[in-house]
Structure 1
Amino acid sequence: MKCAPWFLALAVACTSGHAAETPAAIAAAAQAAHGKRDLGTASALYQQLLTAEPPATPTDEQRAWVTRFAPRLHMVPREFFPLKDIVAIVHPEKPIIAYHLFWEDDFGFPSDNDPCDHEVVWIEFDRATQRVTKVTTYWHGRQVSTDDAVADANSHSGRAWIGVEWGFHGSIPWRAIGQVPAVDEVLRSHWKKAHDVMKTLPRDPLARGWPTEFSGDFAAFTTYTVPFDPRPMLRERGLVYVSRWANATINRYCLRYNFSAKTEWPGPTAP
C-alpha cells in the first residue's frame, strides 16, 4: 500500500487536540489524498474520521425529507451514460440535503481512473414550512444557484428541476442558462468539444462503444426533454445517511468503486 508520510503523520497525531488536527483537517487530508489517487491513505483517514463521528441512520422524518425534496432530473435526448448510483446525505444540524449523483462515466475523461462521473445537487429548506429556500448545484468546480430554481421547486411540491448536461453531466438549476455566465461559457465550450473536437482526436481504447460526438447543434445540446425520477433508485439502493462528512461516508459506507471527491456543502453550510 502506498502511503504519503505527512498524511499518515497527521492521522497518527489527530488525537493530540491541536487546532490543526480537527476533524475538518482530517477530512481535508483525506480528500487531498483521494484527489491524488492515494486511495489507501484516503480510506484510512476517512475511516478515522467516521470512527470519531460516525454517520447516523436517518429518522423517518429525515427519510421523508429526502423523498420530498429529491430533484427532478431532465436529460438531453440520446444521453449515453445512465445514472449508476445516487446517495443522499442529510446534514446533521442544518436543513440541507446533498444528492450525490454518480453517472456511468464522463464523455471527456475515459481514462481518468474514476469509473463514474460524480455530480452534486444541494437542496436547502425550511423545516417549519417545508418549502425550499435554496437550490445549488456543483458545476465543474463552481457552485451555481438561481432564485428561479427555488420558485420552480416550490411550485412542484419541493422538487427542483435540474438539467443534466449531455455526456459531461454538470447539473443545471432552473433558468441558469442565460442568467449565469459560467454556465453559458462551459456549456458552449463542452458543446464545441463534443460536436467538433473529440472526433478529431485519436480514439481512446477505453472509450470503445462510446459515441464519438454529439451530432446536434447547440440548441439540441441545451434541450432537456427527457425526465428521470431518481426516487425509485433512492428507495431501492437505500444509500441515505446523516453526516457532515459526505465524501467519507460515500467512501466507507456507500460505494465499492472509486469516485472523485467533490465539495461537501455549499458556501456557509460547510462543516
Structure 2
Amino acid sequence: MLSFTSSHLTSARVGLVVFLFASASFVGNAQGPSAAQSLAPREAQRVEETAEFHHQLGVAYHLRRSLEDASREYTRALELDPPRDLADEEWQLARRFAPRVYVTPSEFFPLKDFAVILHPTERLIAYHFFWEDDIDFPEDNDPCDHELMWVRYSPDRMSIEKIWTYFHGRMLAGGEAALSDARRNLMRPRVNVQWGKHGSMPADWEELMIIADRGDAENKYYPVDRPISLKLYNEGTFRKLSEEGRRLANHPLGRRAGWPKKFSGTWNDFINFSKIIEPLDLLDKHKMAAVSRWNSATLNQHFLRYNFRPKTEWPVEVSHVRFQD
C-alpha cells in the first residue's frame, strides 16, 4: 500500500504549478498572451483550493514578474488563511529578537523598509530588509533589494535557539559564536551586511562554509562547485568589486543615480561592519508586522506598494515539520 506524506503532497503541488505554467506557455504560443495569462489561475482553482497552493502559485507568478497574477493569487491565499495583527506580547517578541544590523561606513544604499512576520504555530520570526537597491542590478526592475533573516526562539520566549541569514540564494546558520553574541546583547542577533550587495551574514561568518557556483558574478575569483569558507567567498567579491567594479558599470540608470562603479577601499574596509543601522526605528515608524504563514503574500498585500523579489519563506518546511519543545 502506498502512503503519501505531507512533503510528498507539497512536491506534487509544486509540480502541478510547473505543469500549469508549461501548459500556459504552450497555449500562449498557440493562441496568444491572453489565453496563457488566464489558463493557470483558472485551472489552479479547480485543482486545489488551499492557501498553500495559491501562495505557491503567487510566488511562481511573482518570480516571472507577472505581478497582477501574483497579487490575485496572494489575495486568494490570504482570504483562505488571513494574517492578523500582533498582540502586545507578540510585539514584545518582535522587538526582543530584532537584529542589530551592521554595514560598512561607505555603504551607499539606505535601508528603506523593514518588516516582521511571526509564524502562527512555530517559534519562528522572519525579519525582512528592503535596501534601496543592489549595486549589481540597476536593470532588474526591482525598486529595492530584499534580504532577510530568521530566528527561532525558546519555548519560554526569552532566548534565541537558532539564527539563519539569507545570503545570495543560500541560507547561513549561525553557530554558537553567533548565539553567544546575541545573548550578550539582550538576545538581539548581529547581522553583518555586504557592501552594495547586502548579503546578510551572522556574527561568526568568516568560517562558515558555502558552495560557490558558476552563476555568481565573482565566480572567477574563487573556486566553484565545492565548499569554501565565507571569508574566501567575500575576498573574491571584494576583488571583483575593487578591480573590475560592479556589474553593468555603465548602465544609464546606475549612472543617473550616481552609483559607485567600484569599491574604493581596502579588504579591511570591505569587512569593517562598524556602522549600525537600527531597524526598530523603521518598525516603530511604519508598523509593518503581522502573524502569518505566508511572507510573500503578506508583504505584497499588506505592507509594500512597490515590487520586491520573493525569497525563501522559512528556514525549514514548517508546514510539515514540528519542533520539539
TM-score normalised by L of structure 1:
0.92
Give the whole-Å Cα distance in 2 for the aligned partners of 1:111 and 1:125.
38
Give the whole-Å Cα distance in 2 for the aligned partners of 1:83 and 1:199.
20
Give the CA deviation at 1:176: 1.5
Select between 48-57 and 216-225 the one with higher mean Cα deviation. 216-225
CA contact (8 A) 2:103 2:275 kept: yes
Q: Deviations over 1:98-139 (max 9, x none)?
A: 000000000000110000000011011013151100010111
Give the CA deviation at 1:185: 4.7
Larger relative contact order (C-alpha < 8 A, sep ≥ 6)? 1
Q: Deviations over 1:150-169 (max 9, x none)?
A: 12111211100110110000
Give the whole-Å Cα distance in 2 for the aligned partners of 1:127 and 1:62.
14
Give the whole-Å Cα distance in 1 for the aligned partners of 2:115 and 2:271.
26
Give the whole-Å Cα distance in 2 for the aligned partners of 1:50 and 1:62.
20
- The one of 107, 125, 135 equivalent to 1:107 is 135
Give the whole-Å Cα distance in 2 for the aligned partners of 1:249 and 1:90.
11
2:299 is matched with: 250
Unaligned runs of 5+ in 2: 1-32, 212-229, 321-325
Select between 113-122 and 189-198 the one with higher mean Cα deviation. 189-198
Q: Which amino acid aligns with 1:28?
A: Q
Give the CA deviation at 1:11: 4.2
2:234 is matched with: 187
Give the whole-Å Cα distance in 2 for the aligned partners of 1:219 and 1:266.
31
Select between 250-259 and 187-196 the one with higher mean Cα deviation. 187-196
Aligned residue for 1:177, secondary structure, equals helix
1:94 is matched with: 122
- CA 1:154/1:39 → structure 2, altered by over 3 Å: closer, same or farther? same
- The one of 256, 266, 271 equivalent to 2:315 is 266
Q: Which amino acid aligns with 1:41?
A: D
Give the whole-Å Cα distance in 1 for the aligned partners of 2:201 and 2:168.
11
Q: Deviations over 1:3-47 (max 9, x none)?
A: 634431244325xxx5xx542222111111100100011000000
Aligned residue for 2:141, secondary structure, equals coil
Select between 254-263 and 221-230 the one with higher mean Cα deviation. 221-230
1:151-230 superposed matches below 5 A: 151-182=180-211, 183-198=230-245, 203-208=250-255, 209-230=258-279
- The one of 62, 65, 82 equivalent to 2:93 is 65
Confirm whether residue 150 of structure 1 aligns to residue 150 of structure 2: no
2:159 is matched with: 131
Q: How many residues align structurally?
A: 266
Select between 209-218 and 93-102 the one with higher mean Cα deviation. 209-218
Aligned residue for 1:106, secondary structure, equals coil
2:51 is matched with: 23
Amino-acid identity (%): 37
- CA 1:207/1:154 → structure 2, altered by over 3 Å: closer, same or farther? same
- CA 1:93/1:199 → structure 2, altered by over 3 Å: closer, same or farther? closer
